[in-house]
């Protein structure tokens, strides 16, 4: 059953208490976590990757995840998935989960209602949906729900799409990490050399601190 927007709030179903913003975390307020209590598994982080699958970068991300015995969630574009269905299946076969990131990454709230619905319904089949650019409102959420998909946002924004350098991306992951955090990165949409380098280093350091990595229940 589809529900509302989700980030990995430590207070499932309740508004987060005000406090200092975590470094690397999105400036947007957390959303209610509904019945997904992502903190119940202890020191687990939920890595997510948007805009793929990409023929070059997605396999590199998969290789790193395999090395660290980790699972993640890939929010794929329908247009890219249609070009590389084998890579989508390879990702699933490796134990990762697939989410819907629309057909081709528009600003959904700027679209007419019929076009917005088409973008969401044309994406991959999944229990989860992530709006591009975090651009959402009640109408977007309602269409996702009608498509039987839970809207999933994030807690930690690495801003890797800006290509700030691998060290900056790594720092965002490490500084924002806490049990139940949802981390946003990208395996598509451009050159992801920095993301791949940062991912390897950050995962190694987080595992030394006792963290594990799971896929969202999509």
Domain ranges of the chain: 44-213
Residue 74 forms beta bridges with which residues?
49, 98
Query: Domain 44-213 classified CATH 3.20.20.370?
Result: yes
pLDDT tens track for 176-214: 999 999 999 999 999 999 999 999 999 999 999 999 999
53: its two tokens: 């699958």
Question: Which one of 97, 101, 105, 186 is the catalytic residue?
Answer: 186
Q: Is 186 a catalytic residue?
A: yes
Residue 10: per-residue pLDDT: 29
Neighbours of 39 (CB within 10 A): 18
CA 185 to CA 48: how far, in whole Å?
A: 6
Residue 41: per-residue pLDDT: 81
CA 5 to CA 11: how far, in whole Å?
A: 14
Residue 40: per-residue pLDDT: 77
Question: Which one of 50, 51, 157, 187 is the catalytic residue?
Answer: 50
CA 169 to CA 157: how far, in whole Å?
A: 9
Q: Is 54 a catalytic residue?
A: no
User: Dihedral through CA 75, CA 178, CA 161, CA 71, nearest 10?
Assistant: -40
Mean per-residue pLDDT, 59-66: 99
Confidence of residue 2 (pLDDT cuts 50, 70, 90): very low
- What is the 8-class DSSP label of residue 151? E
pLDDT tens track for 89-123: 999 999 999 999 999 999 999 999 999 999 999 99
Q: Is the pLDDT of residue 28 over 80?
A: no
pLDDT tens track for 117-161: 999 999 999 999 999 999 999 999 999 999 999 999 999 999 999
Residue 12: per-residue pLDDT: 27
Torsion region of 170: left, alpha or beta (phi above 0 gives left; psi -120 to 50 gives alpha): alpha
């Amino acid at each position: 059953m589809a529900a509302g927007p989700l980030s990995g709030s430590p207070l499932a179903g309740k508004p987060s208490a005000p406090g200092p913003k975590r470094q690397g975390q999105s400036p947007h307020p957390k959303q209610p976590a509904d019945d997904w209590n992502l903190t119940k598994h202890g020191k687990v982080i939920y890595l997510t990757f948007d805009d793929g699958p990409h023929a070059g970068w997605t396999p590199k991300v998969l290789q790193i995840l395999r090395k660290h015995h980790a699972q993640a969630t890939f929010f794929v574009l329908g247009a890219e998935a249609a070009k590389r269905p084998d890579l989508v299946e390879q990702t699933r076969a490796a134990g990762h989960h697939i989410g819907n990131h629309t057909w081709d990454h528009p600003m959904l709230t700027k679209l007419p209602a019929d076009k917005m619905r088409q973008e969401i319904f044309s994406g991959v089949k999944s229990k989860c949906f992530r709006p591009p650019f975090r651009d959402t409102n009640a109408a977007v959420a309602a269409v996702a729900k009608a498509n039987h998909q839970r809207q999933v946002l994030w807690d930690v924004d690495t801003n890797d799409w800006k290509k700030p350098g691998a060290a900056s991306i790594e720092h965002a992951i490490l500084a924002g990490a806490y049990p139940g955090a949802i981390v946003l990165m990208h395996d598509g949409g451009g050159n992801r050399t920095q993301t791949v380098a940062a991912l390897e280093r950050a995962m190694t350091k987080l595992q030394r601190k006792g963290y594990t990595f799971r896929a969202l229940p999509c």
